[in-house]
Amino acid sequence: MSDIITVVAPVNIAVIKYWGKRDAKLNIPLNDSVSGTLDAKVMCAKTSVCVRPDFEEDRLWLNGENVSIYKENFQKCLNKIRILAKEQKSRDEKFLTWKVHICSENNFPTAAGLASSAAGFACLVTALSKLYGVQTDVSALARLGSGSACRSVYGGFVRWHAGSNPDGSDSIAKQVVDSSYWPEMKVLILVVADNKKSTSSTKGMIITAKTSELIDHRCRVTVPSRVEKMCEAIKRKDFPTFAELTMKDSNEFHAVCLSSYPPCVYLTDVSNKIIEIIHRYNEMRGSPKVAYTFDAGPNACLYLLEEEVPKVISLIKYFFPSSSETFIKGLPCPDLKEEFTNELQISPMGKDLIKYVIYTQVGDGPFELNDKNHLLNENGYPKTLV
């Protein structure tokens, strides 16, 4: 077994949103959620972990910067892993007294607001549980670090069951279908140019849970029925139903945020314009061909089937003209045969309101890198430091 373990983990984008905690310490959510795991070849976190007798303290490097490992969510994961290793006697006692070095990087700008913590913690706990040799539900470990990270430990479509046990032991993710089940499912992430600071999701969830008079109805009534319908739609590969549920849930999530006091607002004029265009496009096409969903930020995530990709990229380029030569990133951009001709009676927006588009797809869960491409050198220190 190698001294250093390196894991790559994907991001995930929820189609039924997680918002609000039943238990803040254990990151137990108020409601079930469902997400698609996105291809780690396009967007991922990569984490190397290493334990050695000569390390003086636990240390953490994030995106090239030495940061404190004594943040609560890192400590929760690390402690839990060490407790499990001790209980399971998976490593000898000496090993468990040694310190750990952790080095993690995202291959996409964290500033883009693309839920990097989900990939990051899925990656971290997968790497640590391999390093410490523990047998456990990795999703529950990831959840301790960042709630939605528990969904990034599986590929395909994943359901996070809120669970009902006080200790969170049944608040775990389960795969709905794997990534090969619905291979036509593609994703376009529209990164909106925006420098507005909005309420962090951790803070937003607390405000909403405490003040919204609508969240209880969402968690008790609308989400439970929507989650079941969503899982069935995915299993049936029923895109129109999948799309409608996705859009309704995104809107309801943002509605609940808006009903908080003070209100949490994440959608901007550009986000709302994207919403309007997608509805008009779907209307023109006679059934939902594209679904939008927005996390706690202005970026749109569009789910759509492969055959729609050229049309929708043309549409985005038409309504959101860009001066960037690398406007479409990620998977190879398909041939845009026909230019979009505007039948929606909506005028194109100003230039560069969307910074770029990431073209990706539903993909697999975390995997270990065996190519020695570690982020830590043989002494257990980062190979590159910014």
Binding site for a second copy (CB under 8 A): 213-214, 217-218, 221-222, 244, 247-248, 251-252, 254-256, 258-263, 265, 267-269, 272, 275-276, 279
Contact between 43 and 107 under an 8 Å Cβ cutoff? The reply is yes
Smaller CB distance to a second copy: residue 99 or 279? Answer: 279
- Angle, helix 309-319 to helix 269-285, in steps of 10 degrees: 130
Q: Which ranges of the chain does DSSP label H, i.e. alpha helix? A: 72-88, 93-97, 116-131, 138-145, 201-211, 215-217, 223-236, 239-258, 269-285, 309-319
The total of other beta-carbon atoms located within 10 Å of residue 305's CB is 18
Q: What's the closest the beta carbon of residue 260 comes to a second copy, in angstroms?
A: 8
> How far, in Å, CA of 272 to CA of 90, rounded?
52
Three-class SS state of 100: strand
Q: What's the closest the beta carbon of residue 214 comes to a second copy, in angstroms?
A: 5
Place of tokens 């989900």: 118
Three-class SS state of 354: strand
Q: What's the closest the beta carbon of residue 52 comes to a second copy, in angstroms?
A: 45
Smaller CB distance to a second copy: residue 170 or 283? Answer: 283
Smaller CB distance to a second copy: residue 210 or 235? Answer: 210
Q: What's the closest the beta carbon of residue 223 comes to a second copy, in angstroms?
A: 10
Short-list 86, 89, 107, CA closest to 41 = 107
Q: What's the closest the beta carbon of residue 306 comes to a second copy, in angstroms?
A: 25
Smaller CB distance to a second copy: residue 162 or 247? Answer: 247
Smaller CB distance to a second copy: residue 269 or 307? Answer: 269
> How far, in Å, CA of 251 to CA of 249, rounded?
5
Contact between 128 and 74 under an 8 Å Cβ cutoff? The reply is no
Q: What's the closest the beta carbon of residue 185 comes to a second copy, in angstroms?
A: 22
Smaller CB distance to a second copy: residue 177 or 214? Answer: 214
